[in-house]
Amino acid sequence: MAFEGLTERLQNAMGKLRRKGKITEKDLREAMREIRLALLEADVNFGVVKDFVKTVRERALGAEVLDSLTPAQQIVKIVDEELTKVMGKEAVPLNKAPHIPTIIMMVGLQGAGKTTTAGKLAYRLKKQAKARPLFIAADVYRPAAIEQLQTVAQQVDAPVFQLGTDVDPREIVKQGLAQAAEKKNDYVIIDTAGRLQIDEKLMQELADLKAIAQPNEILLTVDAMTGQNAVNVAESFNQQLDITGVVLTKLDGDTRGGAALSIRAVTGKPIKFTGQGEKLSELDVFHPDRMADRILGMGDMLTLIEKAQTDYDEKKAADLAEKVQENTFDFNDFIDQLDQVQKMGGVKDIMKMMPGMNKIPGADQIQMGPEQIGHMKAVVYSMTPAERVKPGLLNPSRRRRIAAGAGRPIQEVNRMIKQFNQSRKMMNKMSKGNFSGMDQLFGQ
Ligand code: GDP
């Protein structure tokens, strides 16, 4: 799971502060040392860590935080805000051209996820903006590159302009743009060649393509799993091409967090999207504040709700958001959620976005394949309608009855109810932007 080690270590550092009640400068120093080590271990750029720790310390010492009634909570808030700032404060949308077409040039090293991301972008644009994108296949070096793009394009149902592998990419792009003008495509997505490493010839070619296409957006895809290397790649591409944004792919993997936390600070360019899996729908807008919450283990309900909106029933998603606000989310909604989760596929990622999940012992071990979802549903179906709406009714004897009815062990029923209650409580607090919920996460 992404950021696991970092989250745990940050929570430990904060948990210690919380247990103190009154915090001295020495306690703060110790906590800051742990935070610094946690960030370095997560492969965050050294300079970024240094500035970060300095700012947090100054703020914590400055505004009478230590003398306040809730010093630990305030320090958590400062850490959260500063993490957000390091990643760029706000989500940065895709650039849009004043006239059609908007031209997006995809660049990046081989294997970073360029072609996959090109497909995901088209999928997103078609779904959200009813766009009519045209792909241009400008990678003529890797034999299977064009076919790969064609496969992706077929899945999103968008045309590909290609001239095989014997024509110069510059010519391909020129003709591709002419076709887009003729066919009035509103977006053009150019899939360029990658290499295993940065080399001059590739950069020259990309610079030429940039001059020809004058793209509104040069999106660099980097693989989050490669940590500091991703940051170096980003710096280098930015120096040579003046990129407009970064897509951080493979955040569904076991990445430590270094790339997410360093790229903006090192290059000055925003991460615009993150790749969260291999499927076309698994591209999320990068929200620094939500990512900071996620790194701190506070979940990411808003992204979850947004995912709900693009990936499934909009009305249900709106209902869910409302229920979260009103704290009337019940087991019937939970079943709906399970159904939708099943449709969306990526259960582990969804779980990780649920606030509080990472605090539950063994939550990371939760395997939620179709079988487990089936078990969870069986448990809910064994509840009476009243129990589903009022989980407070679920005393031990009712739980035993439910376990027997569902044919599941009582421990499983207890665990599920506990998760449900915890998520519900946190969802409600977080949805109101209430930071006081955090002490429950950081307390033991
Ligand atoms: P390219 O060489 O840069 O065009 O990279 P590809 O698009 O071919 O991607 C390389 C591999 O990474 C493929 O197997 C993709 O399915 C996979 N991939 C791309 N993005 C993601 C992501 O966000 N998560 C995961 N898990 N895999 C990804």
Q: What is the pLDDT of residue 23?
A: 83
Q: What is the per-residue pLDDT across 390-423, written as a single tens digit (0 to 9) for each?
A: 888 999 999 999 998 888 999 999 988 988 887 7
Rounded distance from Cα 245 to ligand 1 centre (Å): 18
Q: What is the per-residue pLDDT across 329-382, written as a single tens digit (0 to 9) for each?
A: 788 888 877 776 666 655 566 666 665 555 555 555 555 667 777 888 889 988
Tokens representing 9 are 């270590």
Rounded distance from Cα 256 to ligand 1 centre (Å): 18
Q: What is the per-residue pLDDT across 119-140, written as a single tens digit (0 to 9) for each?
A: 999 999 999 889 999 999 999 9
Rounded distance from Cα 111 to ligand 1 centre (Å): 6
- Going by C-alpha positions, the residue among 351, 323, 324, 321 that lies closest to residue 338 is 351
More confident residue, 102 or 377: 102
Task: Please tell me whether 118 is known to bind a ligand.
Answer: no
For the chain, list the domains and their CATH numbers.
4-86 (1.20.120.140), 102-286 (3.40.50.300), 301-442 (1.10.260.30)
Rounded distance from Cα 113 to ligand 1 centre (Å): 4
Q: What is the pLDDT of residue 104?
A: 98
What is the reported pTM? Answer: 0.73
Looking at the DSSP assignment, which residues form a beta bridge with residue 223? 249
Task: Please tell me whether 88 is known to bind a ligand.
Answer: no
Q: What is the per-residue pLDDT across 263-313, written as a single tens digit (0 to 9) for each?
A: 999 999 999 999 999 999 999 999 999 899 888 877 665 566 666 556 656
Please enumerate, as own/partner, the contacts of 206-211 that have beta carbons within 8 Å and a separation of 24 or more.
206/105, 206/107, 206/240, 206/241, 207/240, 207/241, 208/170, 209/105, 209/138, 209/169, 209/170, 209/173, 210/105, 210/241
Ligand 1 site residues (CB inside 6 A) read 108, 110-116, 148, 194, 221, 249-250, 252-253, 275-278
Ligand 1, atom nearest to 148 Cα? 8
Residue whose CA is at the smallest distance from ligand 1 atom 26: 277
More confident residue, 275 or 72: 275
* Local confidence band at 444 (pLDDT 50, 70, 90 cut-offs): very low
Query: CB neighbours of 434 closer than 8 A, spacing ≥ 6?
Result: none
Query: CB neighbours of 115 closer than 8 A, spacing ≥ 6?
Result: 106, 139, 145, 148, 149, 152, 191
The ipTM estimated for the assembled molecules is 0.99
